[in-house]
Structure 1
């Protein structure tokens, strides 16, 4: 499952360079020229990390979510004080221009490792139990056999049971789609998964939040 990186960089050549090389290195890449566009993309796609090329927009971009790691790419004249201020204002790392791509890539991977959520081997949500090592799913002790994508969708929703995952986010992380288009893939899988869980006595699970996406259960 590829990590998604949002590149919020006002300079077109730098943004294109980063988008191209990060995609070659296996990331799903979203590009934005300014903070407003970046915020809109972040709300819809829920990236795993943000690269921010405009330090003046740090507080505005950080206001979207303190949970998404953010690396600032600073100006050539940035000094130790600029780096310290960026970190104090919520950045997870800071790199000045001109930068070496290999160093930036190493920092991205290090931040993602450091901030990755810890998922237990056995995930329990009410009567639902998911055993990750064996991929066994049960509701009230009754085992349910799920195909690979239904299992991955369930596991993703169960990682934060009350949070609404956007359709774009789920299609990217479960199916590796780069854009939504008009596909019904997610809806059809969610519908089948919901019926299977209901037949086993669980639910309501896999709740459709109209116009947004899905969450595992109601609050």
Structure 2
């Protein structure tokens, strides 16, 4: 299930968008402003953000730039502004689409679906990151001429981090997606798996590394020279 972050200071719009997204099968995180959105991002990493332009404090253009550059999250701007200059500003900030209020819920949904199809590596069977090729069909990781057969949880964890290179995954998000909501173990399990994956990668490549972001989680970094 894809998770969508909706950021809007209008409670009515938040409720409306939430209803239609949930009915369409999405999980929704609601935030009333940019500060609230950043707080939610500490524990959950969404697949897409729907952001209103006109908000108190940090506006939607500024928030979009940060979500795009620092979190690698695609953004659909939702706003009452329809002038070409505002659209240009939105796309320059890194938005992936633009919907003007008032909007038809069906239009919002098909635009959301279109963005997710372009960006959702979680459902891709194969993809490359640096010099590493990941095949979810065979559960194989290939680096150069070496094929690694990892234990299932290690493979799933590496594939998750690699699905968004240079993107920080909160520890809670990783635990939820790899071990599930009802996992009764502690976070030491995650630490152990990360350590084992690092040891395997170190033997075969310098192009990709897993970095600890203290107090937040982990990210897979790609060496720009590779």
User: Given the two structures, how large is their TM-score scaled by the length of structure 1?
Assistant: 0.71
Return the alpha-carbon distance in structure 1 between the equivalents of residues 23 and 190 of structure 2: 29
Q: Is the 8 A contact 2:168 2:219 kept in 1?
A: yes
1:99 paired residue number: 103
1:73 paired residue number: 78
Q: SS of the counterpart of 2:67? A: coil
- Output aligned runs, 1:14-53, within 5 Å: 14-42=13-41, 44-53=43-52
- Output aligned runs, 1:117-196, within 5 Å: 121=126, 130-137=134-141, 141=146, 144=149, 146-147=151-152, 149-159=153-163, 163-175=167-179, 177=181, 184=185, 187-192=188-193, 194-195=195-196
For the aligned residues, what is the CA RMSD?
A: 3.9
Residue 214 (structure 1) aligned with residue 218 (structure 2): yes
Shift of 1:110: 1.0
2:63 paired residue number: 61
Deviations 1:72-106 (A, max 9, x none): 2212xx33434344334433222122211111010
1:87 paired residue number: 91
Return the alpha-carbon distance in structure 2 between the equivalents of residues 125 and 71 of structure 1: 28
Q: Is the 8 A contact 2:52 2:60 kept in 1?
A: no
Return the alpha-carbon distance in structure 1 between the equivalents of residues 37 and 52 of structure 2: 11
Q: Which structure 2 segments of 5+ residues have no match?
A: none
Q: Is the 8 A contact 1:125 1:161 kept in 2?
A: no
Aligned length: 211
Q: Which structure 1 segments of 5+ residues have no match?
A: none
Q: SS of the counterpart of 2:66? A: coil
Shift of 1:21: 2.8
Deviations 1:142-187 (A, max 9, x none): 754523x44211211244566542213324544565xxx9964654
Segment drifting more, 208-217 vs 59-68: 208-217
User: Given the two structures, how large is their TM-score scaled by the length of structure 2?
Assistant: 0.69
Return the alpha-carbon distance in structure 2 between the equivalents of residues 218 and 83 of structure 1: 32
Q: SS of the counterpart of 1:31? A: strand
